[in-house]
Amino acid sequence: MISILIAGAIAMFVSLAGTRFLISYFQRLGKGQPILGAEDHGPVHQMGKQGTPTMGGIAILVSGLIGWTVAHVRDGLPFSDQAAIIWLAVFVLGFIGFLDDFLKVRRQHNRGIFWKKKGWITFGITIGLTFILASSTGVVETISFTRAVSPGWDITGPLFVIWTALMVWSTTNAVNVTDGLDGLAAGSALFGFLAFTVVAYWAFRNPRIYDVVNPLDLAVLSSALAGACAGFLWWNAAPARIFMGDVGALGIGAALGMLAVTTNTHLMLPIICGINVIEAGSVAIQMGVFKASGRKKRLFKMSPIHHHFELSGWPETTVIIRFWIISGICVATAVALFIADFTQQVRIR
């Protein structure tokens, strides 16, 4: 438990200082986040934020890694291959996001060179990462909710790799879509990482019930990323002084998806990331209605849905706080279901 607290605290303080450094550094460079204009059907009401420093996700990812590493100074906490592969996924996908952010800033247009191909590129990379996880670790190859045997549908080999790749890839995209208002993505991710910290630590304390490999290290990793998000949120809260960018969104999404795979909570992931599901779902629905109507009608005033509420007259801070509340409810529901299943298993045993 002490290692978990150390990881979170160190990551938070490093993120606080690191994000502040990035703000100063990017301000000196004189270029920041471009915003899509009316010609691209973008959020014109957000144009006042154009030029705000971006790529703050670098501080989140690096701070999380530092917090996780420092926590291993204590005896009894070995480095695990599962956690190492998660960090590999975080930084590989984060690097793709960094390239896209860099090109957006350099070209001063909110579409990087990868904007049409990025989905395919990231999905291909994710397949490779989940293959490494499945082939080199003892991760259980079943579809699971709260435990490996619940419901425990076996999907070994290529099917497991594709299934988990879809999980991780979908989560990265959902977090990326959510990152449209100050602090929204970072705050909801903070809730998600806290949930996985509880899940992994609970698995560590009850190994007879949960077939999770190296759960304590996973709890430390999740705590470190929660702390890093908290430190970043200090500067990213409205009015944001820096945005996380795709580097942060893709890295955070990769971590959340991979944690669900390694803790055997595949089907609980959509509940933990409920607000991200709502945001991504609103985009899918908007596109579906638009195409079905012959490109004439839209269900929402703008998607993702947080822009719909802004255009409906809600102040940005109201949208953010209410969405945080929804995220907190989703996470609390997921943890409650997890604990309820644990209680049931204890009674049976």
Count of CA atoms in the C-beta half-sphere (13 A) of 340 = 7
| Cα Rg of the chain (Å, integer) | 20
Q: What is the pLDDT of residues 224-270, one digit of tens each?
A: 999 999 999 999 998 989 999 999 999 999 999 999 999 999 999 99
Q: Tens of pLDDT along 39-97?
A: 444 555 555 566 688 899 999 999 999 999 999 987 778 889 999 999 999 999 999 99
The token pair at 191 is 């809730």
Q: What is the pLDDT of residue 28?
A: 87
Tell me if residue 349 falls in helix, strand or coil.
coil
Contact 82, 218 (CB under 8 A): yes
Q: Is the pLDDT of residue 290 over 90?
A: no
From 11-20, 111-120, 302-311, the region with the lowest mean pLDDT: 111-120
> Which is more confidently placed, 140 or 347?
140
CA nearest to 256, candidates 191, 338, 335? 191
| 150 within 8 A of 170, measured Cβ to Cβ | no
Tokens of 258: 């991979």
pLDDT of residue 38 exceeding 50, the answer is no
% of the chain surpassing 90 pLDDT: 62
CA pair distance 147, 129, nearest whole angstrom? 22
Across the chain, mean pLDDT equals 89
Under the banding of pLDDT at 50, 70 and 90, the label for residue 124 is: very high
Q: Which of 195, 213, 229 is nearest to 7 (CA)?
A: 229
Q: Which of 87, 280, 269 is nearest to 176 (CA)?
A: 280
Q: What is the per-residue pLDDT across 195-215, written as a single tens digit (0 to 9) for each?
A: 999 999 999 999 888 889 899
Rounded Cα–Cα distance for residues 160 and 158 (Å): 5
Residue 37 has pLDDT above 50, yes or no: no
Q: What is the pLDDT of residue 40?
A: 46
How is 198-240 classified by DSSP, letter by letter? HHHHHHHH-TTT---SSHHHHHHHHHHHHHHHHHHHHHHSSSP
The pTM (predicted TM-score) of the whole model is 0.92
Instruction: Find out whether 74 and 2 touch, Cβ atoms under 8 Å.
Output: yes
Sign of the CA dihedral with 275 first, then 278, 283, and 286 last: negative
C-beta atoms surrounding 84 within 10 Å: 15
More confident residue, 279 or 44: 279
